[in-house]
């Protein structure tokens, strides 16, 4: 993946550390801006399922009484 393929959220300030995404064919690359050499890849469907789980709180730790 070339450097021009990576995109970051518009919510990320120019000097902030950000998560970046790049789509190459059937794969999505994910990296942190401070560690550009460390890339995790997945499929768009799996990334979508993960983001949906984060948004709904399905991955939150159970609350203790």
- DSSP annotation of 5: G
Q: Is the pTM of this model over 0.75?
A: no
- Supply the pLDDT for residue 45: 96
Low-confidence residues of the chain, pLDDT below 50? Answer: none
Residues 43/47/40/7 CA torsion (nearest 10 deg): 100
DSSP state of 16: S
How many helical (H) and strand (E) elements, i.e. helices and strands, does the chain have?
Answer: 1, 4
- Domain assignments of the chain as residue spans, ordered by start: 3-56
> By the 8 A CB rule, do 19 and 30 touch?
yes
Tell me the per-residue pLDDT of 42-56, one tens digit each, with 9 for 90 and over.
999 999 999 999 999
């Amino acid at each position: 993946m070339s450097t021009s393929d990576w995109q970051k959220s518009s919510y990320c300030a120019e000097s902030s550390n950000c998560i970046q995404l790049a789509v190459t064919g059937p794969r999505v690359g994910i990296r942190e801006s401070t560690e550009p050499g460390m890339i995790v890849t997945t499929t768009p469907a799996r990334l979508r399922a993960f983001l949906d789980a984060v948004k709904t709180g399905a991955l939150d730790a159970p609350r203790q009484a």
